[in-house]
Amino acid sequence: MTEYDLLIRNGFVVLSNEVTQTDIAVKDGVIVRIEAGIDASALEERDATGMYIFPGMIDVHVHFSEPGREHWEGFETGSKMLAAGGCTTYFDMPLNGIPSTINDRALQEKAVIGQSKSVVDFALWGGLVPNNEKDLKGLAEYGAIGFKAFLSDTGNDEFERSDEYTLLNGMKEIASLGKILALHAESAPITNWLMREKQQKGLVSPNDYLESRPIIAEAEAVDRAIAYAKLTGCALHFVHISSEAAINNIEAAKLAGIDITVETCPHYLLFSHQALVEKGAIAKCAPPLREKKEQERLIQLLIEGKFDMISSDHSPCPYSMKDPSVYNLFEAWGGISGGQFTLLSMIELAINHNIPFTRIAEWTSAAPAKRFHLHSKGSIQVGMDADFAIVSMENLTVTEDNFFAKHKQSLYLGHTFPCQVTATYNRGKLIFENGDMIESGSVGKWLQGSNIH
């Protein structure tokens, strides 16, 4: 008689405080034993000799654009793409769907779609936009993991940026609900003014785009949001921070006792503005990729512990919106498609900068789980969900064939990682293995923010 559903043997398991070669036993989707040489049998046994076993990544920042824009990316292709990169839980952002997730009806509609299509677990952000402050309570009660607002224009008519009164009123309400507000922190007055000046003069090159979204626009928006947090008591999560100046503002606020976390994305750590110069629209994002010196400083800030977590900000679009032949870079969609490569990017940085793998597990799994109260996720330990990314230290060069997103445009195409994900397990179920999706139907669970336990 088999004792377990799954036994993974002899892998180098990345625990919270050490990496150790051991076995992992799983029953009913939960880790039940971690010890070397387990003398038992299981329905499925895997020899992970020479492999590293990371906790499944938790990506709190992706854009799947469904309903309404599934032709950009949907729950099925998006979740498979993430699973191929060792991600077992993701949070979908509220802005690119039609309707946007700005009331409980839209939240429930999106949840039904996610539950029918996602191959891994997921949560849903609600949106804060002008005139929906009255809808925030319903969103929270129906399970929004938190709320998202923009201090700069979003690029989508369905999801407006928040003006100052919306921010203050919304933050006060979000604080009363015990939730977190995620912020895209770039100053709309600064970026819009600079963009208009550039375009009026016909200045639409990669350098002009970078200059239209300067570091001061990010730092000013961060500082303003912190001031509002002081007034309202609202907990904040700053997304895709790209500059040392912004981090300095955030660090000072943390030291003052304000409840803040901050993420950055792999593309700000692996690439610089030169990628935009060389590759054009495919490397356009907001905030923009920074100059090499700032990129190097961001890596050092990461090593110093100034970032709490790493997220992908996977933001895909159809090919026509990233057409490399378009002369005016301001007209291209601003987003990086690459959620599949977050864990691999961080392992590459760890190897190149002597960062312990335990810190990678913290940034990609433990810290997001802690911040958003995912009590059964975030680490490999007895009693936790059996969410695993099994990683081989064999090179992987990104091609259209091994990139699982709907559209095969990515800044990462042609990049060679010193590692690859060989298998992904979500709550003990094999989802991805050796370049192939194993699970084609929905097995993902909606993690509702109001009743996660």
For the domain 4-53+383-437, what is the CATH code?
Answer: 2.30.40.10
pLDDT tens for 325-374 read: 766 889 899 999 999 999 999 999 999 999 999 999 999 999 999 999 99
User: Which amino acid, residue 16?
Assistant: S
Q: Which residue has the tokens 């677990």?
A: 121
Using only C-alpha atoms, the chain has a radius of gyration, in whole angstroms, of: 21
Per cent of the chain over pLDDT 70 is 98
Report the predicted TM-score, pTM, of the whole model to 2 decimal places.
Answer: 0.96
Residues 6 or more apart in contact with residue 446 via CB below 8 angstroms: 111, 114, 115, 121, 122, 123, 124, 143
Q: In angstroms, rounded to a whole number, what is the distance separating the alpha carbons of residues 451 and 175?
A: 18
> Residue 324 — pLDDT band, cuts 50, 70, 90?
confident
CA distance 217 to 236: 18
- What mean pLDDT is predicted for residues 409-424? 97
Check whether 451 has a pLDDT greater than 70.
no
pLDDT in tens, 113-168: 999 999 999 999 999 999 999 999 999 999 999 999 999 988 888 899 999 999 99
Q: Residue 300: which residues within 8 A CB-CB, separation 6 or more?
A: none
Amino acid (1-letter code) at residue 451: N
Architecture of the structural domain at 56-371: Alpha-Beta Barrel (3.20)
The answer to whether the peptide bond before residue 287 is cis (omega within 30 degrees of 0) is yes
| Nearest in space to 260 (alpha carbons), one of 185, 159, 343 | 185
Residue extent(s) of CATH 2.30.40.10 domains in the chain: 4-53+383-437
From edge to edge, which strands make up the β-sheet containing 121-124?
Answer: 57-62, 87-92, 121-124
CB 289 within 8 A of CB 313: no
Whether the CB-CB separation of 295 and 289 falls below 8 Å is answered with yes
Distance CA 418, CA 345 (A): 9
Q: pLDDT for 34-87, tens place per residue?
A: 999 999 999 999 999 999 999 999 999 999 999 999 999 999 999 999 999 999
Residue ranges, CATH 3.20.20.140, the chain: 56-371
Cross-strand pairs, 182: 148, 237
Helix (H) or strand (E) segment spanning residue 90: strand 87-92
